[in-house]
Every structure is written in structure tokens, then in C-alpha cells.
Amino acid sequence: MNSSRATCLSFLHISPANSVEVHSQEHRGVLQNSGPHELLGVLKKIEKDLGRTDGIRYGPRPIDLDILFYGKFKIYSETLTVPHERIWDRPFVMAPLMDLLGSAIDVDTVACWHSFSAHSGGLFESWEKLGGESLIGKDGMKRVLPVGNRLWDWSERTSVMGILNLTPDSFSDGGKFQSVDAAVSQVRLMVSEGADIIDLGAQSTRPMASRISAEEELDRLIPVLEAVLEMPEVEGKLLSVDTFYSEVASEAVSKGAHLVNDVSGGQLDSNILSVVAGLGVPYCCNAHERGPIYDAD
């Protein structure tokens, strides 16, 4: 199993525990892996290592790992049935599975998965028969994003981002918040007015702005980021760093930033996508400029 790896992941979903007695909400997701009966053995070991023991059937458990499909194959043995026999009547299984159907899974494999469904419309019809996307946000079922020290539920309401430019040359507020004290005061104001996310940007991206180095950007950014992280008002808020430099993203996240907001969509630093992937934080990909951002000089 040393060669096994996750090739794509679903969103994380929260739903009420499907058990004899509900003790807490459970988190569910789907991943792809490889290798059937040995894979089952690995999953059982993970469950055991995380404290799962034999107990009441369908009762509460700290973790539950299942093999839903295995490529294009059907498997029937004493220890393993694939496709998983209860996929079709479990919304909390179907929801993350639907997330995977739009990812980079072999088209022929997905066609087999659809054919395994009892419905002519395949997995999509099975999902719709259960209620489909209308289930998300109802009866305790949520699609969430792990970020910072919380599970962010984007479906509850629209989140508000407050923009803080730490630059001398941004459009409307250039030079206003370059000092740490001024920046902290502005963050306090934005939070009091309802900001859920604070976006810190230390490089102007207005058309024809003068591009600065990663080192200069860090000199502007880090003192403010460190001061903001000390503010009790930002407890439970997300801190975003607006940068296209991989070095800046890496340093900011190491200091406590929760996500990376890249206006270039990865076009100005070839390393940023792999670096952010390694950091394990959300990446906001903005790539909508219609012309050069920076002066050719």
C-alpha cells in the first residue's frame, strides 16, 4: 500500500450522526485510493488506531471509513462488497460522492459507477431522488471548508471581506494604512462593521503600478499581520494575504494567515500553486485582469 495516494478529494460535509443515539455531528468526505482487500485492511487499521471499537451496529463511532467503489469492478466477498450496498439511500454518502464526479476521474470509470445505480439516470438521478442539492443546508447537513481553526460554512450567509491595502499607491486608500497603528485601527473598524475576512495586501495591483520585490512586500506585510493576529477582535475571523509571490504566501501562512488570495491566478510566480498546495490552506484564484498590471519598467 506504499504506492497508494489520494488523487482527488470531495468537500467535507457535516450531517447529524446516523446512529442509535446522536452524540455529536459527524464529518464525512470521500477520497479515491487504490487496492481492494489490502486497502480495506489499511482502512480498518486506521479506524482502530483512531479509537474505533466493535459496538452497536450503526451506533456512534469516532471514525467510519468505507470503500464506495473500486474502479470499474464489482466485488463480492465475505469481507467486502463493492459498490457499497448502502450508497443509494444515504444522503451523507451521496453528497461528497457528487463532488467527485466533476473532478479528474476517468470518464469510463464514472460511466460504470452510473451503471451500478438502480436508476436510468445513474448517480445523478439517485442523488436527486434523495433530494439532491436541496438537502445541503437542511436538517443539519452542511458543506464546509476546514480553514484556520474552524469549519467554515459558506451556505449559512454571505461572508464579508474587508480589504486593507498596506501600500502607498493603491487606487482609493494608498498611503492611509501603512503604519501598524493605522492598520490595526482600520481592522478594528472593519470587524465592528461586520467583516468576516480581513484581506491584507502589501503590493498594489492597480494598472501600471510599480512592482515591488517579495522582500519589500514582506517588510510591509509582516509587522501588520503580527499585530492583527494579536487583536482579540479578530478571534474567529479569517485573515487572507493578497499576494502572487510564493515566498510571501509561505511566510504569511507560517505567521498565521488562513488563506492566500492571488490576483494573478498563478501567472506571476510559477511556484505559488505548488507552494500553497503544500501549505494546506485555501487558495483564492483571481485571474481577471485584461491587460498588464505592472509598468514594463
* Domain ranges, residue 213: 161-285
Cα distances (Å, whole numbers) of residue 126 to 61, 62, 102, 115, 267: 27, 28, 16, 11, 40
What CATH code is carried by the domain that includes residue 238? 3.20.20.20
pLDDT for 76 equals 94
Residues 65 and 167 in one domain: no
Is the preceding omega at residue 96 within 30 degrees of 0, hence cis?
A: no
Residues 101 and 28 in one domain: yes
Considering 106, 132, 153, which residue would you say is the last residue of a domain?
A: 153
* Tally of domains within the chain: 2
Domain membership of residue 220 (yes or no) is: yes
How confident is the prediction along the chain (297 residues), in pLDDT tens digits per residue?
455 567 677 888 887 765 433 334 555 555 555 568 888 988 888 888 888 777 666 556 677 888 899 989 999 999 999 999 888 888 888 998 888 886 656 788 889 989 998 888 899 999 999 999 888 877 778 888 888 878 888 777 889 999 999 987 655 655 667 799 999 999 999 999 999 999 999 998 777 678 899 999 999 999 999 999 999 999 999 999 999 999 999 999 999 999 999 989 999 999 999 999 999 999 999 866 555 555 544
Query: What are the strands, taking DSSP E only, across the chain?
Result: 12-16, 25-28, 75-76, 81-82, 142-147, 150-153, 161-165, 197-201, 238-242, 259-262, 283-285
Considering 153, 185, 209, which residue would you say is the last residue of a domain?
A: 153
Considering 126, 153, 180, which residue would you say is the last residue of a domain?
A: 153
Residues 147 and 34 in one domain: yes
Domain membership of residue 291 (yes or no) is: no
Query: DSSP of 137-167, one letter per residue?
Result: TSTT-EEEEEETTEEEETTSS---EEEEE--
pLDDT for 294 equals 55
Spatial distance between the Cα atoms of 176 and 228, rounded to a whole number of angstroms: 16
pLDDT for 103 equals 63
Q: What is the pTM for the complete model shown?
A: 0.74
